[in-house]
Structure 1
Amino acid sequence: MSVLALTKLLMYLGTALLVGGVAARAWRPDNQPGGSWLAFGAGLISIGSLIQVGVTLFTLGYLTWPDVPVYLQQTVPGRATLTVLLGTALLLASALSRWPTWLSLLAAGTLLWGLGGLGHGATHGPSVRLLHAVHAGAMAVWLGGVLNLLGGPEERLPALRRFRPVATVCVVILGVTGVVATWEHAGGWPTLTTRYGQLLLLKLVFVVLALAAAGVLRRFLAQRKQVYGLLSLELVLLGLIVTLTASLSVTPTPAHGTVPTYPLFG
């Protein structure tokens, strides 16, 4: 995995902790996760964003401090990074200060809109960028929800019942946005002759396995059996999916060739 893919993975995991954590507060009656959980997610997003900017500038040969504001202000991915950091700060502040729900949603939307402008989203119009943002948001809520279930509360079965419809909505959104985004980036259905197609196929395999684990989890839930092992399996599969998504975001697509995610200054 490349350094840029690793930075995207940090940002995705941080988004799952922060956005997914804030969303979990809506279906968890114990007002969890706490501020330290959310702050850790915000920290991962910030670290990933800063490393990504540094690596990009180093790769392009822009090694002086004045190059940093130029990159952040005059390039699409630079402005997207600023948007991510702004949304992250606002969402963390809204969660810690108990802002109204609509302000939290606006902050989360700002973060996700910035995230959608990185990777392949940097080279497309607003509609595709919105598609990426919605896709990232659904994955963050799903992954963040599973993480919250594993981290508590002690009574997992009632919490899992409340989370189940949320996860179902996330799966539907991920399916629709994933198909549309794949068609857009590959100019049709990708073939296995490209790295993009191979990574996408592997991602789909893990998605199917995660859905299968979730289906078995529902049966165990109906029978009030132990669900910790299945939740752990679902978490591992979702982690692999996010890792592959980070790699896909910096992999050239069949329809657009190399990924001009970090264009030279114009």
Structure 2
Amino acid sequence: MLAKYLIYLGSALLLGGAAARAWRPDGQPGARWLGLGAALILVGGSAQVALTLAALGYLTPADVPAYLQQTVPGRAVLTLLLGTALLLAAGVARWPAWLSMAAAGTLLWGLGGLGHGATHGPSVRLLHTAHAGAMAVWLGGVLTLVSWPEQRLAALARFGPVATVCVLVLGVTGVVASWEHAGGMPTPDSRYGRVLLLKLAFVGAVLGVAGLLRRSLARQGRVDALLSLELALLGLILAVTASLSVTPTPAHG
């Protein structure tokens, strides 16, 4: 779970930070922020491979390249790291937008192949890819708003439509993927169902906070406390998602 959490958090810093540069008027975050995200993905991906091989009892040096080349999750880790390197280079060197988007797509396709995305077909993996991308952009955007309060109101106004699209993508992909994994409506009969219902409760709470934030912004009120609360709830959702990704699903065991 910790390895997946580091990967998700690193993706929010790197991908979400790269996306924030497009709508923040001050051009934040800087290259160090993106580098930290890439480092977290590298550490999380390495830990994911090490823990998986240790659990399977494959402990020789030759097992690592075999796992990375011959298994779906192993190739997903390689794709994730390739996309991470490309997106970091795109952010530092200011590549054209289409090249940055291709790098981000490579990162997310690798991320979508981890966890439950490794045991399903390309369509379900694509759902995981879109879900992870929307979450990374949303969380990364809120992180930059909290970390760089300069020109916050202008940045919030530009981030609003981005966050709305992220919520819509998360809603559609989350419902379809949950239905696929739970075999229908989620129930508390299984651990997967209980964790999923907990995640949905946090999602409902963060949407409520986002609504209050938009209302406060329209009234020119203070948004610091609401932003911090939204960030805290998104962090909890990230942790629950990391736990959910390593929990056996009722539909596939």
Give the TM-score range, shorter chain: over 0.9
Counterpart contact for 1:94–1:103, Cα < 8 Å: yes
Q: How far apart, CA to CA, are the structure 1 residues paired with 2:176 and 2:55?
A: 32
Q: Would you say 1:72 and 2:87 are equivalent positions?
A: no
Q: How far apart, CA to CA, are the structure 2 residues paired with 1:236 and 1:39?
A: 23
Q: Would you say 1:236 and 2:232 are equivalent positions?
A: yes
Q: How far apart, CA to CA, are the structure 1 residues paired with 2:81 and 2:94?
A: 20
Q: Would you say 1:22 and 2:14 are equivalent positions?
A: no
Q: Show the counterpart of 2:170.
A: 174
Q: CA deviation at 1:58?
A: 1.1
Q: What 5-or-longer segments of structure 2 have no aligned partner?
A: none
Q: Show the counterpart of 2:148.
A: 152
Counterpart of 2:186 in structure 1: which amino acid?
P
Q: Would you say 1:252 and 2:251 are equivalent positions?
A: no
Q: How far apart, CA to CA, are the structure 1 residues paired with 2:51 and 2:200?
A: 30
CA deviation map 1:130-162 (0-9, x unaligned): 100000000000000000000114221111011
Counterpart of 1:232 in structure 2: which amino acid?
S
Q: How far apart, CA to CA, are the structure 2 residues paired with 1:156 and 1:30?
A: 10
Q: Percent identity at matched positions?
A: 72
Q: How far apart, CA to CA, are the structure 1 residues paired with 2:158 and 2:7?
A: 27
Counterpart of 2:202 in structure 1: which amino acid?
F
Q: How far apart, CA to CA, are the structure 2 residues paired with 1:137 and 1:87?
A: 13
Q: TM-score, normalised by structure 2?
A: 0.99
Q: How far apart, CA to CA, are the structure 1 residues paired with 2:24 and 2:150?
A: 12
Question: Structure 1 stretch 233-242 or stretch 56-65: which is displaced more?
Answer: 56-65
Counterpart of 1:132 in structure 2: which amino acid?
H
Q: How far apart, CA to CA, are the structure 2 residues paired with 1:224 and 1:155?
A: 13
Q: What 5-or-longer segments of structure 1 have no aligned partner?
A: 258-266
Q: TM-score, normalised by structure 1?
A: 0.94
Structure 1 residue runs of 4 or more that deviate by more than 2 Å after TM superposition: none
Counterpart of 1:120 in structure 2: which amino acid?
H
Counterpart contact for 2:13–2:33, Cα < 8 Å: yes
Counterpart of 1:90 in structure 2: which amino acid?
L
Counterpart of 2:250 in structure 1: which amino acid?
P
Counterpart contact for 1:206–1:237, Cα < 8 Å: yes
CA deviation map 1:156-207 (0-9, x unaligned): 1111011001000000000000000011111111211101110111101100
Q: How far apart, CA to CA, are the structure 2 residues paired with 1:252 and 1:56?
A: 15
Question: Structure 1 stretch 85-94 or stretch 152-161: which is displaced more?
Answer: 152-161
Q: How far apart, CA to CA, are the structure 2 residues paired with 1:92 and 1:72?
A: 22
Counterpart contact for 2:25–2:151, Cα < 8 Å: no
Q: How far apart, CA to CA, are the structure 1 residues paired with 2:209 and 2:94?
A: 35
Match of 2:200 among 190, 195, 204: 204
Q: Show the counterpart of 1:140.
A: 136
